[in-house]
């Protein structure tokens, strides 16, 4: 009986979370170019100006907090240390990155993402490093710390004068969202 109630509660929470994510998309169905939030720099073009240029803040639907809770938030917008402390999520994201051709720097996702404000920012930086053949450590150094730069500014600083940093940030954020979505889909909390 307890398992049945627990599973029903999980199903209700999942439906509620997905409904919340859909509502947060301002009526746009998920997968229609949205789902990345203003700071991701994709969808409606928002997030490409000012100091938030290229900063992933919302990784889209399917990124519910692992472990539940009433304050559902997106995995990509959470602190890497809090999300990646769940070994199942860590493994799912490492596998998703591997399928995207990303080799996690140092082989440890938690340490590679250390210092980043959120997980989406870290994953996007990994994609930029791969896409533009840049050193991830250089990206990490520019983007982390109290004076951390946005993804776009870091690309602009490391990529050289011919790199279209806005479109590269947008591309990397889209790739990061796909990896985060794949990791969330692969992660299924146990119903025990």
Q: Mind listing the pLDDT tens digit for each residue in 109-121?
A: 999 999 999 999 9
67: left (phi over 0), alpha (psi -120 to 50) or beta: left
Q: Find out whether 54 and 173 touch, Cβ atoms under 8 Å.
A: yes
> Is the alpha carbon torsion for 29, 31, 34, 35 positive or negative?
positive
Look at residue 129 in the predicted model and tell me its pLDDT.
96
Look at residue 108 in the predicted model and tell me its pLDDT.
93
* pLDDT tens for each residue of 101-147: 999 999 999 999 999 999 999 999 999 999 999 999 999 999 998 89
Give the pLDDT of the chain (192 residues) as one tens digit per residue. Answer: 555 544 444 444 444 444 434 434 334 343 433 333 333 333 333 333 334 444 444 433 333 434 433 222 488 999 999 999 999 999 999 999 999 999 999 999 999 999 999 999 999 999 999 999 999 999 999 999 889 999 999 999 999 889 999 999 999 999 999 999 999 988 766 555
Look at residue 68 in the predicted model and tell me its pLDDT.
39
Close Cβ partners of 189 (under 8 Å, ≥ 6 residues apart): 10, 66, 67, 68
Look at residue 135 in the predicted model and tell me its pLDDT.
95
Look at residue 71 in the predicted model and tell me its pLDDT.
29
* 27 to 16, 24, 31, 85: CA distances (angstroms): 15, 7, 12, 33
| Closest to 164 measured CA to CA, from 128, 122, 121 | 128
> Rounded CA gap, 178 and 105, in Å?
19
> Rounded CA gap, 74 and 51, in Å?
21
Look at residue 161 in the predicted model and tell me its pLDDT.
86
Look at residue 191 in the predicted model and tell me its pLDDT.
57
Q: Find out whether 152 and 144 touch, Cβ atoms under 8 Å.
A: no
């Amino acid at each position: 009986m307890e398992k049945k109630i627990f599973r029903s509660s999980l199903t209700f929470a999942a439906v509620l979370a997905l409904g919340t994510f859909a509502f947060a998309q301002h009526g746009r169905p998920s997968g229609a170019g949205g789902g990345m939030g203003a700071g991701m720099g994709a969808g409606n073009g928002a997030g490409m100006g000012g100091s938030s240029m290229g900063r992933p803040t919302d990784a889209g639907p399917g990124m519910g907090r692992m472990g539940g809770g009433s304050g559902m938030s997106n995995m990509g917008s959470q602190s890497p240390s809090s999300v990646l402390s769940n070994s199942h999520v860590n493994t799912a994201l490492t596998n998703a990155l591997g399928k995207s051709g990303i080799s996690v720097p140092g082989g440890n996702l938690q340490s590679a993402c250390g210092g980043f404000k959120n997980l989406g920012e870290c994953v996007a930086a990994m994609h930029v490093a791969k896409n533009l053949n840049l050193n991830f450590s250089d990206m990490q150094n520019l983007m982390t710390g109290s004076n951390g730069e946005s993804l776009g500014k870091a690309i602009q600083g490391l990529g050289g004068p011919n790199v279209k940093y806005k479109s590269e940030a947008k591309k990397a954020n889209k790739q990061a969202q796909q990896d985060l979505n794949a990791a969330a889909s692969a992660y299924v909390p146990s119903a025990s």
